[in-house]
Structure 1
Amino acid sequence: MPSLKPAKQSAPSNAQTLARLRATIGVLSTTTTKQLDVSLPWYRRLGAEERSALGLLAQNGIASFVSYYEKPSSPAWVLTDIFGNAPTELASSISLQKALQVIRIVVQVVEDQVPELAAPGEEAVLREAVLRYAREVAFAAADVYARAAESRGAWDTRLESLIVDAILRGENTDVLRSRIAALGWKSKDRFTVMIGSAPESAGQGFVNDLRRAASRHAEDALVGIQGDRLIVVLGGLHDQETAYLRISELFGAGPVVYGPEAATLVDASYSARAAFAGLAAVRAWPQAPRPVAANDLWPERVMNGDDDARRALVRGIYRPLLAASNGLVETLSAYLSLGHSLEATARELFVHANTVRYRLRRVTDVTGWDPLLPREAFVLQTALAVGRLAQAAKP
Structure 2
Amino acid sequence: MPTQTHAAGGARRGRLKASPAKAETLKKLRNSVGQLSTTTTRELERALPWYGRLSADERSALGLVAQNGIAAFVTWYERPSLPSWVLSDVFGNAPTELTRSISLQKALQLIRIVVEVVEDQVPNLASEDDQPALREAVLRYSREVAFAAADVYARAAETRGSWDTRLEALIVDAILRGENTDALRSRIAALGWKAQDNFAVMVGSSPLEPSPSYVGDMRRTAIRYAKDALVGIQGDRLILILGGVEEDETAYTRLSELFAPGPVVFGPRAESLPEVSSSAQAAFAGLSAARAWPNAPRPVAADDLLPERVAAGDDAARRALVQKIYRPLLAASNGLVETLSAYLELGHSLEATARELFVHANTVRYRLRRVCDVTGWDPLLPREAFVLQTALVVGRLAAQPSTRDRTVRQGT
Structure 2 counterpart of 1:140: 148
Structure 1 counterpart of 2:173: 165
Instruction: Indicate if the aligned counterparts of 1:310 and 1:386 stay in contact, CA closer than 8 A.
Output: yes
Shift of 1:203: 3.3
Instruction: Indicate if the aligned counterparts of 2:61 and 2:97 stay in contact, CA closer than 8 A.
Output: no
Structure 2 counterpart of 1:153: 161
Shift of 1:129: 0.4
Structure 1 counterpart of 2:79: 71
For residue 92 of structure 2, what is the amino acid of its counterpart? G
Structure 2 counterpart of 1:113: 121
For residue 148 of structure 1, what is the amino acid of its counterpart? A
Deviation digits for residues 169-203 of structure 1 (CA, Å, limit 9, x no counterpart)? 11115333322222222221111100000123323
Alignment of 1:231-380 (within 5 A): 231-380=239-388
The whole-number CA distance in structure 1 between the counterparts of 2:174 and 2:156 is: 27
The whole-number CA distance in structure 2 between the counterparts of 1:146 and 1:274 is: 41
Consecutive unaligned residues in structure 2, runs of 5 or more: 1-14, 404-412
Instruction: Indicate if the aligned counterparts of 2:219 and 2:231 stay in contact, CA closer than 8 A.
Output: yes
Among 196, 208, 216, the residue aligned to 1:200: 208
Structure 2 counterpart of 1:180: 188
The whole-number CA distance in structure 2 between the counterparts of 1:59 and 1:394 is: 88
Distance 1:394 1:89, change over 3 A: farther
Distance 1:36 1:393, change over 3 A: farther
For residue 86 of structure 1, what is the amino acid of its counterpart? A
Shift of 1:353: 1.3
Instruction: Indicate if the aligned counterparts of 1:36 and 1:105 stay in contact, CA closer than 8 A.
Output: yes
Structure 1 counterpart of 2:11: none
Instruction: Indicate if the aligned counterparts of 1:173 and 1:265 stay in contact, CA closer than 8 A.
Output: no
Query: Which deviates further from its counterpart, 112-121 or 254-263?
Result: 112-121
Shift of 1:242: 1.4
Distance 1:37 1:326, change over 3 A: same
Among 212, 220, 224, the residue aligned to 2:232: 224
Shift of 1:289: 1.1
Query: Which deviates further from its counterpart, 292-301 or 174-183?
Result: 174-183
Shift of 1:339: 1.5
Shift of 1:307: 0.8
For residue 126 of structure 2, what is the amino acid of its counterpart? A
Query: Which deviates further from its counterpart, 128-137 or 70-79?
Result: 70-79
Shift of 1:392: 2.8
Distance 1:138 1:382, change over 3 A: same
Shift of 1:394: 9.0
For residue 284 of structure 2, what is the amino acid of its counterpart? F
Deviation digits for residues 43-95 of structure 1 (CA, Å, limit 9, x no counterpart)? 22211100110110011011110111011122211111111122022101111
Matched, 1:128 2:136: yes
Structure 1 counterpart of 2:67: 59
Distance 1:170 1:12, change over 3 A: farther
Instruction: Indicate if the aligned counterparts of 2:40 and 2:113 stay in contact, CA closer than 8 A.
Output: yes
Structure 2 counterpart of 1:215: 223
- Secondary structure (helix, strand or coil) at the match of 1:237 reads coil
The whole-number CA distance in structure 1 between the counterparts of 2:273 and 2:182 is: 10
Count of equivalent residues: 386
Matched, 1:26 2:63: no
Deviation digits for residues 117-165 of structure 1 (CA, Å, limit 9, x no counterpart)? 1145211111110111011111111111111112222222112111111
Instruction: Indicate if the aligned counterparts of 1:173 and 1:266 stay in contact, CA closer than 8 A.
Output: no
The whole-number CA distance in structure 1 between the counterparts of 2:26 and 2:293 is: 82
Instruction: Indicate if the aligned counterparts of 2:65 and 2:94 stay in contact, CA closer than 8 A.
Output: no
The whole-number CA distance in structure 2 between the counterparts of 1:227 and 1:250 is: 17
Among 49, 55, 63, the residue aligned to 1:41: 49
Larger radius of gyration: 2
For residue 171 of structure 1, what is the amino acid of its counterpart? E
**Percent of aligned positions that are identical:** 74
Distance 1:12 1:354, change over 3 A: farther
The whole-number CA distance in structure 2 between the counterparts of 1:94 and 1:239 is: 36
Structure 2 counterpart of 1:97: 105
The whole-number CA distance in structure 2 between the counterparts of 1:12 and 1:343 is: 111
Query: Which deviates further from its counterpart, 318-327 or 93-102?
Result: 93-102
For residue 107 of structure 1, what is the amino acid of its counterpart? V
For residue 177 of structure 1, what is the amino acid of its counterpart? R
